[in-house]
Amino acid sequence: LRYSYIELDASQPLHRWLQNNGQNDSNGMTSNNGDVLVEAAIAGAGIALQPTFISGPAIKEGKLQVILQEYEPETMGLYAVYAHRQLLASKVRSFVDFIDGYFGNPPYWD
């Protein structure tokens, strides 16, 4: 099986499992923009590992296909970091509650 792997410039070693023996494919593509990678995958440039908020519309429209679903990476969390709960401003609490409800589990784009 031969393929070109297109990757996000900031990809961590965790995402490098798609590469052949951990080595870069000289035919691959690297970008720091997920939308560019999705468009490249649609154009046939190779395999891209992208979150569903970027690739979801193309998958739903049939432009992209999910492969190797059994090796899907773990879900990434979204965290709110603030000083402490003792003197938490009501605006901060409201924002955290809003974001939690807005994104939900699973997020609205899935």
Is residue 66 classed exposed, middle or buried when 0-12, 13-18 and 19+ CB atoms within 10 A define those classes? exposed
> Is 93 a residue whose pLDDT tops 80?
yes
pLDDT band at 14 (very low <50, low <70, confident <90, very high): very low
Token output for 87? 């003197």
- Which residue did the predictor score with more confidence, 105 or 16? 105
- 14: tokens are 């965790």
- From 15, 16, 18, 14, select the one nearest 4 (Cα to Cα): 18
Q: Which letter does DSSP use for residue 50 in this model?
A: -
Pairwise CA distance, residues 26 & 42, whole Å: 20
Average pLDDT, integer, range 59-81: 88
